[in-house]
């Protein structure tokens, strides 16, 4: 089966994709498997001083195949910046994500704030923005360290 049409993933869409005379027959009987492999990658317990994130500017819905395409493309570019992109964990729970305004879609944490790293990460995020719907922006912020 090909990709489901966009109307199946609208913000206020019901839990069915077709209408039948019997309401029980209207619901989707089989849900396709999620293509998202990893949600969190790298060193989750490390202490980092800088964060670069892609922030959503409007309410949108992002499909699972778009999120996985973004993860793969960003990871390919960032492998030149750092090593240790292993130790992933997580479990897929949905097929599309409802992303609210000003919510982070993707974040990268790193140390040693230098222009070369920031330039490479921004290049990776520009690639990611072309694969995601809606209006997105890149935000750089310093992380607070707790002692």
Question: For residue range 24-80, what is the model confidence (pLDDT) as tens digits?
Answer: 666 655 556 666 777 777 787 888 888 889 999 999 888 888 888 888 888 888 877
Residue 42: give the domain boundaries. Answer: 31-142
Would you state the pLDDT for residue 142?
86
Q: Are 62 and 11 in contact (CB under 8 A)?
A: no
Whether 54 is covered by a domain: the verdict is yes
Q: Using the CB atoms, write b or e for 41-53: b if 16+ within 10 Å.
A: bbeeeeeeebebb
User: What's the pLDDT at 57?
Assistant: 93
Task: Give me the number of domains the chain comprises.
Answer: 1
Assign residue 128 the CATH number of its domain.
3.90.1170.10
Predicted structure pTM score: 0.63
């Amino acid at each position: 089966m090909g990709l489901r049409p966009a109307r199946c993933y609208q913000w206020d869409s019901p839990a069915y994709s077709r209408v039948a005379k019997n309401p029980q027959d209207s619901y989707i009987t089989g849900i396709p498997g999620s293509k998202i492999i990893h949600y969190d990658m790298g060193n989750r317990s490390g202490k980092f001083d800088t964060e670069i994130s892609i922030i959503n500017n409007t309410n949108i819905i992002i499909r699972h195949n778009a999120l996985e395409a973004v993860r793969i493309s960003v990871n390919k570019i960032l492998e030149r910046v750092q090593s240790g992109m292993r130790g992933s964990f997580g479990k897929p729970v949905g097929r599309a994500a409802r992303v609210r305004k000003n919510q982070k879609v993707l974040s990268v944490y790193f140390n040693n704030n230098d222009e070369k790293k920031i330039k490479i990460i921004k290049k990776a995020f520009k690639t990611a923005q072309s694969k995601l719907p809606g209006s997105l922006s890149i935000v750089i912020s310093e992380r607070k360290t707790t002692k």
